[in-house]
Structure 1
Amino acid sequence: MTTAPGTVLVVEDEPSIADVLAIALRFHGFEVMVAGTVREALTLAGRTRPDVALLDVILPDGDGRALGRELRARRADLAIVFLTARDSPAEIVGALSYGDDYITKPFDIDVVVARVGAVLRRTRADDVLPQRPPLRYGDLELDETTYSVHRAGRTVELTPTEYALLRFLVRNGGQVVPKEQLLRHVWQYEHTPPESTVVETYISYLRRKLAALGPPLITTRRGVGYGLA
């Protein structure tokens, strides 16, 4: 029997869009649950354990970003992808504050399926690997079994994508990693979207969280990429 690549909770109040998403995801082997409201989504998420939530930002009984925060608070390992018709930098940064990726409407259904798969691959990257010793860089320690991060002995709370980004920088410690390489290895993008600011956004999140516990750690080589001091 073939195992489904993952379970997706689709939260979309437009039935035609929800149907298209569900049909495409099921065609590619995903198990799919569909909700049209925040209340329905919370009920479904409470009864089952989806691997990723695909959330419309504007819902009839609430804000999809607030829903994303609630779902992430219930389960820290849940991957979250937002669907939004708003593409301003402020909206995108707001969505990425609580999730792992965002997709703007109107969207290409193949892109949605690919991005959902990419999020799952990076959040599950080490699920089948045996226990390994922690990764260390300076006063940073990353536990690849529990996905926890400590700096100077204090816990750093990271989302799955923030963890994946920091881990890749640590594994390449002392080197400048080009933005295109980060997009390929962390976000699984085969082709770099020319307008993408996702790397810059997540670098700023990491900088803020790490700087709260010590001196600046992430460096920028303008026009090239990022590394660790």
Structure 2
Amino acid sequence: MDMAWSALSLSLQVAGWATLLNLVLGIGVGYLLARGRFPGRDLIDTLLTLPMVMPPTVLGYYLLVLLGRNGWVGKWLQDTWGIHLIFTLQGAVIAATVVAFPLVFKPARAAFEAVDSQLEGAARVLGISEFGIFLRVTLPLAWRGILAGVWLGFARALGEFGATLMVAGSIPGKTQTLSIAIYEAVQAGQDAVANTLVLITSVVCIVVLLGAGRLAPGRVAYRS
């Protein structure tokens, strides 16, 4: 049982940090692509949506190549700051962030696109700055769609398995999240432990999805 609560605690930490990062990144990128008109916008949208359809193990491999000791980012971090991300909690957070990002970014973009531009124009006539319009007009009107995406992103990060296993491994008490702990328990023939972990995961995911559904029931559309 201690292993179950340890895995749950780690999963919540990873999902929480990944969701916080995706909230900031998703709002920023979603707003940029919703309001910006520049060459390559559709290509950027496609690339940012890839983690939604790409196998998690492929994403994990890309992250290993990028963040490993011989990767250009990983090598720079190691040589410059002494930071090593592979087989760490931080590596698990990065993997969960990448996998869950489209579920936050796409609803955020759709929510911003649904905001009536005439309301923003009226705010400009009143002399409100662009940043003030974003905070006082655009964001309050789009928050339900954004928050629904954040809930879904949290649920996805909570259940992430493939990319996290490749990047962070399965170190009990350090990087072994709920999904990985379930896999290890099944492999070891520990059915009672696996059943407990599956029940905990299912309950948490149901609660999260109910919360997302109450925020935006059927209103979060995906646009390209």
The TM tier, using the shorter chain, reads under 0.3
Q: Which has the higher contact order (CA 8 A, sep 6+)?
A: 2
Higher strand share: 1
Higher radius of gyration, 1 or 2: 2
TM-score (norm 1): 0.24
Higher helix share: 2
